Chains A and B, each alone.
Chain A
Amino acid sequence: EVQLLESGGGLVQPGGSLRLSCAASEFTFSNHAMSWVRQAPGKGLEWVSATTGSGGSTYYADSVKGRFTISRDNSKNTLYLQMNSLRAEDTAVYYCAKYDSSSYYYSTLENWGQGTLVTVSS
């Protein structure tokens, strides 16, 4: 069974930084594009970023472009999200999700982790 385990969330001040990790297991990590999706408290789902299976291509939502960086280490089966210049509106549960192919084009988010909460507040 696919396992996706996020970590790294917590309380951070506005303007601060945080790095999220997602440890993947029970599938061939490098064969799948990966994504981060977030959900503000009591709100809907917002796609944040994605990377291809090789890590060679990435895409970002306009709301985080220039502040967040997605990366992956296929030797460690781990996905990352480096979040800089954090704002109150970045407060959310951040989910790691696996695409059904090595590309994020025309691909489905078929498995999700349990999420990690990021709170941006002074």
Chain B
Amino acid sequence: DIQMTQSPSSLSASVGDRVTITCQASQHINNYLTWFQQKPGKAPQLLIYDASNLKTGVPSRFSGSGSGTDFTFTISSLQPEDIATYYCQQYNNLPPTFGPGTKVDIK
């Protein structure tokens, strides 16, 4: 199975800050990577697919980039409603595998 790592595991930032999360795959996964947001007590929600495509309706402050094994997720201006855990997930190989998550808090 492909192993996914994320860093940092958690972060605390101020409203308006730029936040960056990295995700690394143990093998080349082309651009078959999604980013999910999971708010406390809620189901995950898809934000970005194919590494950099924003799902319709998702605010433009969220973005993704990368290909191959190294990927980046960015919140350009952190908002209070962005408090959540963010997961990357590869779907280049079966089974699909998730990163361990990055918990984002407001400082």
Residues of A within 8 A of B (CB): 37, 44-47, 59, 61-62, 95, 100, 104-115
Contact = CB atoms under 8 A, between A and B. Distances in A.
Contacts of A115: 43
Nearest to B99: A44
Interface stretch (B16-24, B44-52, B71-79): B44-52
Given A45-B44, A95-B43, A95-B44, A106 B91 contact: yes
B46 A45 contact: no
Closest 9 CB pairs of A and B: A112-B43, A108-B49, A45-B98, A47-B96, A44-B101, A44-B100, A61-B95, A110-B46, A47-B95
A106 B94 CA distance: 9
Given A44-B98, A112-B43, 17 more contacts: A44-B87, A45-B38, A45-B87, A45-B89, A45-B98, A47-B96, A47-B97, A47-B98, A95-B44, A106-B91, A106-B92, A108-B34, A108-B46, A108-B49, A108-B50, A109-B89, A112-B44
Interface residues of B, number: 25
Q: Is the interface of B mostly helix, strand, loop or mixed?
A: loop
A115 B39 CA distance: 14
B61 interface: no
Nearest to B101: A44
B91 A108 contact: yes
Contacts of A61: 95
Given A45-B87, A45-B89, A106-B32, A112 B94 contact: no
Contacts of A111: 46
